[in-house]
A and B are shown apart, each in its own frame.
Chain A
Amino acid sequence: MRVIRGTGETSERPRAIDPDELVRGLKAAEPWAERALLQAEAVRVERLLTRILGFCAELDDLTQEVFIRAFARIAELREPESLRAWLGSIAVFVAREAIRRKRRRRWLLFLSAEQLQEPPAAAASLEARAALRVFYEVLDGFAADERIAFSLRFVEGMELTEVADACQVSLATIKRRLKRASDEFYVRGRARAELVDWFEEGSRWRRIES
């Protein structure tokens, strides 16, 4: 199953560049190549970070961090055609660090998930927005690796192999993580009123089915 999501593109359209040429330019630290990569991939990186973390006040900082690391480690990239997947794995890594940092900070500063700013999504229903907020509250209780696998698989809609590539682990490991995360989500999610309708026995599920 491959679910294509909206992309949230900006008005700055990237020009089509041959991947080999782009990677050569990046390895030579050419400003035009760095700009081109940023133009082409910033929105996708933002989206991946948001899928994993939910709405996050640090989104711009984290996005920049992904590109800073990508520019610094571009020499490690062997195959130009895997540039996007490689960048995705860096985004996953940065997101994992953010999850762990957030846990430490929350423990230290006693900040709750609710205190993090949520951007407006005017078109979405109140129910959907509430479900989104509670969904990430539930995910806050997951182990970081299971949260990442779960959100990439079911929110971003990645194939299992893509999730495995992004997390840089085997397919079997991803399946185990997803199994644990799904079981946990079923238990925790059904306990939350905002999510219970989304399960098979809920009214929302029956509405979708009909």
Chain B
Amino acid sequence: MASNRELSTLGRTLAEVQDDALQARARPTTSARLAVIYQLRARRERTQRRWSRLGYGAGAAVLAAALMLFVMRPRALEFRIGDGAGAGLGQLGVLVAAPDTGGQSLSFSDGSRFRLHGGARARVVSSSEHGARVVLERGLLRAEVVPRAHNDWSLFGGPFEIHVTGTSFDASWDPQRQQLFVKMLEGHVLVSAECLSAKRALKAGESGTFSCVSEPVAESTPMPPPTATPPSPVAAVAAMSARPVQSHPGTSSVSPSVELPAMRAPGWRELSASGDYAGSLAAAEAQGFERLCEMLPSSELLELASTARLAGRFERANTGYAAVRRRFAGSENAASAAFHLGQLAFDGSHDYRAARRSFAAYLSECQGCALAPEALGRRMEAEQRLGELELARASASLYLERYPKGAHARLAQSLKEP
């Protein structure tokens, strides 16, 4: 390689040539240079200011576009509970209960509305930009869904799903009788359930009563005469119907009528059937609640426990359901009691571990039963709330496999996705 000495010698010679040339060149004066420098500086400052303005303008335009995209992005519908200024933002999965003597409304951001009648309870379990899935736990509601393209609304009552595209209807779900009643006001809906052989369409002016129980409702759950006591929500809806209740010949799962025969019954049962759950429980207490728990047959004991639950007396409901499970272990009613114990733990005491245990018990004892989709969905919810995400994902996979269009399908999908 070249040595430093060689290179320095060469460099020194070249520098001398350069210095001679620099010395000889016509150099601008300091004043001339300063003038050019100041001119250039002023021009650059102007350009910078212009670019800054353009930058701010472009930035503002980009920001406005981003804001517009953000505002216009597909967003899940929100809903508010209540009317007017007192309305509060609703939360998915939280039970909404209408007071016994009043109503409660769920108003969605697209203008759709669900009006819960007195004593009704419902939960919005999921929502998307196209609609929501609402579970009617019990009671009567009026649904008014605004017709929109790609609407995807479902109302669930027990094992039944009412698929709505844009319509107005009344629906009631009676958990004691496991009975759904739908009365159409406008548009049409599709009612489906595993126990139905096919989806049932109802259009404006029609109504229908649906039940998955094998025995006719009228035979297993006597009702008081309409004139003797206030009508139950189901009967009330039936009474509103302008046309005879639609029947579905050839399917034993669909009850042809809600006009139920009057039967003599103990006081607490009459009151419960009329929807007066508090009065019913008071009557049961008068007879000796604990004693009734030990002597009533399976279905009546389950009914008593449900009456206590619907009256908001959760400790009594727990006692009743526990008695069903103890006395009639292995029966379908014992499995149903497990489901309701899960409901109580989930919605009442928020004991998600106990809820999960109860829903799991229901599922193990009654795989093909009508409430299995709800039980599996709520077990998944309980696991999610417990932070047991691996279990929740496993439940989600099972749920999607069994009930891909179920009420909890969207939650299940979200849990499966990382």
Binding site for B on A (CB under 8 A): 1, 3, 5-8, 10, 12, 31, 34-35, 38-39, 42-43, 46-47, 50-51, 55, 60, 63-64, 67-68, 71-72, 118-124, 128-129, 131-132, 135, 151, 153-157, 182-183, 185-186, 189, 195, 198-200, 205, 208
Contact = CB atoms under 8 A, between A and B. Distances in A.
A35 B30 contact: yes
Interface stretch (B15-23, B279-287, B328-336, B372-380): B15-23
B72 interface: no
B2 interface: yes
A6 B16 contact: yes
Given A5-B15, A12-B29, A35-B30, A154 B10 contact: yes
A1 B12 CA distance: 12
Contact of A121 (B21, B28, B44): B21
A129 B36 CA distance: 32
B319 to A, nearest CB: 80
B11 A123 contact: no
Please indicate which of the listed interface residues B6, B31, B40 has the most CB atoms of chain A within 10 Å of its own CB.
B6
Contacts of A153: 11
A162 B404 CA distance: 74
Contacts of A60: 27-28, 33
Contact of A124 (B4, B11, B20): B20
A39 B347 CA distance: 86
A139 B25 CA distance: 23
20 contacts: A1-B8, A3-B11, A6-B20, A38-B37, A42-B30, A55-B21, A60-B27, A71-B41, A118-B21, A119-B22, A120-B21, A120-B24, A121-B21, A122-B20, A124-B17, A154-B7, A154-B8, A155-B11, A199-B6, A208-B9
A64 B24 contact: no
Given A68-B41, A124-B17, A200-B6, A12 B11 contact: no
B33 A38 contact: yes
Contacts of A205: 6, 9
Contacts of A50: 18, 22
Contact of B6 (A1, A5, A129, A198): A198
Nearest to A201: B6
